[in-house]
A and B are shown apart, each in its own frame.
Chain A
Amino acid sequence: MRKTRILFFLVMVSLVLAPLAAAAQQTGAPPTVKDKAQIEAAVSAQAAPTQQAKPAPALTRDVNTRLSTAEADPQAKPGAPAAAPPAAKKPAAKKVEIKRTEPIVPAYSGIREKMAVIVFYVWLWFAIAVMIYFLRLWIKEADRVYKAKYYEPEESPRKDNPMAPVLGD
């Protein structure tokens, strides 16, 4: 019985930790200097559209945020080229406030993300099925112990140890 409980506990811990670890790996990488250069170029293009042959790609608010983060931390990526010295620093690009014109609708960004969600569904329901299987064993045992009146007598271990039905005698 105790082994079943320990196994159940371990399964639960691993099933809970698995998606957390996966989610942690998906955390967005910090903006790099390369990102900053790209963002600045995009912002300049947005600020002066007449100088461009083609219309600049629409900026999202994400770009502004990444730009401000990149400015605050230009050494975000250790292997990236060093930032220019302060004297040679270009004048900061004007931050462009872009008003959102469309609702934000959560959607899969591609087949890979869609597959990830399907895998998550399978994992989720599999994990639930496994946990219910172990819980069923536990319930059966608890019912059997109750029907057998194992903890009924006055001298029962339950008298001094109320957690006995769960933790064992």
Chain B
Amino acid sequence: MKIDMKKFAAWFDDRLALTPIFKYMTKKEVPQHEHSFWYYTGSSILLFLFIQIVTGIMLALYYKPTLEGATDSIGRIMTELPLGWLVRSVHSWSSTFMIALVMIHLLAIWFTKSYRKPREATWMTGMMLLVVSMVFGFTGYLLPWDDLSLSATKVGTNIPMAIPVVGKWVTQFLRGGDDVTGDTLTRFFLFHVCILPLVIFAILVVHILLVQKEGMSVPLKDEIAKKKVPALPFWPNFILREVVIWLVLLGILLTISLMFAPSLELTADLMAPAPEGVKPEWYFLFLFQTLKIFPANMGPVTGEFVAVVLILIAVVAIFFLPFIDNKPEGKKGKIIAYLGVAGVIYAIVFSIWSLL
């Protein structure tokens, strides 16, 4: 039987009016140059977000966000449900992959200076996506409700306490009280499965629309030289190349998920002292170590206060980077690029130091 794909497509088109989107996709072009590879990181992030959603829904079917049920429900997922341990492992590892790719994506944009005019808003929404992704990781870390996640959350939610004026309120809001309890677990679960997905989708839609509006950036030197950069149609030439990357990433994700499936520690005891060697997720390690190196008191204020203020200043500066680096081709632009390299080295060194 011959399947008439055109009729099939026309049926959908009549109902969903897809022609303008396809016409746009066929007209859209992707520049081809020595840094084109970094374009693939953006779509790969979407792939891992999709995996997160699918595996997250599967886990949420059996997860119980209560003090009594949280650890046991994950134990049940791991030991009783078919391939439950693999679903959990894929969820855990794909979050790591996703955050790593968001960081790589942002660094690639930093070093190629693609945030320059008119893409400032794209950079800012990208930064928001990084922060939301990290909050996703932070809220998800508590959900197994084991000793390690409880202690890490206690440490993590204690950090905002150092923020002037609103610090105490932020900590109480995060914890649902003065300490990490079952209320914290409930609200972290709510944030993780309800509020943060809405936030990330809202920002993501704006980010993608901005990328479509402004198009993909070309290297700075080509833009200065007003050189015409060769391009490739987005559909299907670029999409097919992306699919190749996705397949390889999926293979790596599944291989790692099978080889290094996360274990489940003992149920957290609220009355027990914090276990030794409490560590946050890898992407918070350098911040964790930064907080540790500051002395308890620095004159009239605490060391933690100074550290938190410095970190906040750095985050705000990175958020407004396109406006700070308003002449990327000049000396300031080079200094900012070197600062980026220094930041990466700092993050790597401090993360390793934290693990030692």
Contacts and interface: CB of A to CB of B under 8 A. Distances in A.
Contacts of B146: 103
B237 A139 contact: yes
A61 B263 CA distance: 16
Interface in A34-68: 60-62, 65
Contacts of B82: 23-24, 26-28
Interface stretch (B108-116, B123-131, B253-261): B253-261
B258 A103 contact: no
A106 B9 contact: no
A27 B247 CA distance: 27
Contacts of A24: 82
Interface stretch (B70-78, B178-186, B299-307, B329-337): B70-78
Contacts of A131: 247
A34 to B, nearest CB: 19
B184 to A, nearest CB: 22
Given A146-B232, A146-B233, A65 B19 contact: no
| Secondary structure type dominating chain A contacts | helix
A124 B251 contact: yes
A65 B317 CA distance: 54
Interface string B75-89: 110111011010001
Contacts of B78: 104, 106
Contact of A165 (B26, B241, B254): B26
Given A62-B80, A100-B75, A163-B22, A106 B240 contact: no
B9 A167 contact: yes
A162 B80 contact: no
A16 B114 CA distance: 38
Contacts of A132: 244, 247-248
Contact of A100 (B5, B250, B267): B267
A9 B64 CA distance: 39
Question: Interface centre among A60, A162, A168, by most B CB within 10 Å?
Answer: A162
Contacts of B236: 138, 142, 165-166
B interface majority secondary structure: helix
Nearest to B10: A161
A158 B83 contact: no
A128 B79 CA distance: 29
Contacts of A124: 251, 254-255
B267 A135 contact: no
A162 B265 CA distance: 53
A87 B85 CA distance: 42
A142 B237 contact: yes
Interface in A137-159: 138-139, 142-143, 146, 151, 158
Contacts of A158: 26
A104 B75 contact: yes
A117 interface: yes
A99 B78 CA distance: 16
Nearest to B25: A162
A113 B75 CA distance: 20
B170 interface: no
A101 B265 CA distance: 9
B240 A168 contact: no
A151 B23 CA distance: 12
A105 B263 contact: yes
Contacts of A135: 240, 243-244, 247
A146 B231 CA distance: 11
A106 B22 contact: no
Nearest to B85: A106
A163 B12 CA distance: 12
B6 interface: yes
B83 A61 contact: no
A151 B25 CA distance: 14
B81 to A, nearest CB: 8
Nearest to B74: A104
17 contacts: A27-B82, A99-B267, A100-B266, A106-B261, A121-B255, A128-B248, A131-B247, A142-B237, A142-B240, A143-B232, A162-B22, A162-B23, A162-B25, A162-B26, A163-B9, A165-B235, A167-B6
Given A121-B258, A125-B251, A139-B241, 17 more contacts: A24-B82, A26-B82, A101-B266, A104-B79, A104-B264, A106-B78, A106-B89, A106-B261, A106-B262, A124-B251, A131-B247, A132-B244, A136-B244, A139-B237, A146-B232, A146-B233, A163-B9
Interface of B: 5-6, 9, 19, 22-23, 25-26, 71-72, 75-76, 78-80, 82-83, 85, 89, 146, 232-233, 235-237, 240-241, 243-244, 247-248, 250-251, 254-255, 258, 261-267
